[in-house]
Amino acid sequence: MEIAGYLASLIIGVSLGLIGGGGSILTVPVLVYLFGVDPVTATAYSLFIVGATSLVGTMPKYKNGEVNLKTALIFGIPSIIAVYATRAFLVPAIPNPVFTIGSFVMTKALMMMLLFAVLMLFASISMIRDKNGKQEDETPQQQKFNYPLIIVEGAIVGTLTGLVGAGGGFLIIPALVLLSKLPMKQAIGTSLLIIAAKSLIGFTGDLGKSTMDWPLLLTVTALAIAGIFVGNSLSKKVSPSSLKKGFGWFVLVMGIYIIVKELFFQSAIGGH
């Protein structure tokens, strides 16, 4: 299982390099199912892994002029505030168990995995439909910032990131294309910078709250970083549209698997 986990860690980075998102949606399931990490702790680990990998992946894209700093700031600031507040205050405040109905116990860990799986389903549908993937025109348009919408979406993505440990690239990229009029490649590069900042700052909200398995954390991060270099080089050869669609189907299957496993086999894993 550990070998499968290390291979999956590479795939996390490859996906982030190729499509600027998606890889983070795999990080929590990889940590929980392949490395046996507790789901709540896994969401914290995921923030570090995704944040560090995205930061490294941003550098070559910045050199290629594929990062729009002004957009990153406008979207990133409310997102960063929301993710830090969620990790520092909201997650510790969630009761455990959350509620009980008859013999069914909704534990904090189960709730976070189910929330994560639902997010995966929405993400997969958005990637399979891939309306933005057809946008091949990479000519920068006149930017018109819809400030209220960008700030609200930034805060929502930040809160979701804090709760489930996903970077939210699949939510950020469409928002940057539609609300900030960025070309697709620039949206991917800018998304990586936003993911890096909010994930790493969000992770600091967990420091000191539990013992971190740093050897595991740094090993998975190193493999994901290796993967992002592979993804960056492949992005020049692979059609982003077909890749995003294929990845979307994979995420859909994973989301359904997590819901089935958590709801119908929770007794086998002791409800975490």
Indicate whether 71 pLDDT > 80.
yes
Indicate whether 257 pLDDT > 80.
yes
Pairwise CA distance, residues 240 & 211, whole Å: 39
Q: What are phi and psi of 99, to 5 degrees?
A: -160, 165
- Cα torsion 239, 242, 246, 248: sign: positive
Residue 21 is predicted with a pLDDT of 66
Residue 216 is predicted with a pLDDT of 94
Which of the listed ranges 17-31, 73-87, 145-159, 213-227 does the model predict with the highest average pLDDT? 213-227
Please give the C-alpha separations between residue 107 and each of 55, 174, 209, in angstroms, as whole numbers: 33, 33, 19
Residue 233 is predicted with a pLDDT of 84
- Report the percent of the chain where pLDDT is more than 90: 17
Residue 96 is predicted with a pLDDT of 85
Pairwise CA distance, residues 211 & 233, whole Å: 36
Indicate whether 40 pLDDT > 50.
yes
Predicted TM-score (pTM) above 0.95: no
Residue 270 is predicted with a pLDDT of 47
List, in sequence order, every residue forming a beta bridge with 106; answer none if it has no partner: 99
Residue 142 is predicted with a pLDDT of 62
End-to-end CA distance of the chain: 18
Residue 136 is predicted with a pLDDT of 45
Q: Tens digit of pLDDT for each residue in 87-143? A: 889 988 989 888 888 888 888 888 888 887 888 788 788 778 866 544 444 555 566
Extents of the domains making up the chain: 2-264
Q: What would the mean pLDDT of 79-91 be, rounded to a whole number?
A: 88
Residue 95, C-beta contacts closer than 8 angstroms, at least 6 positions apart: 108
Residue 93, C-beta contacts closer than 8 angstroms, at least 6 positions apart: none
How many C-alpha atoms does 34 have within 13 Å on its Cβ side?
Answer: 17
Indicate whether 202 pLDDT > 80.
yes
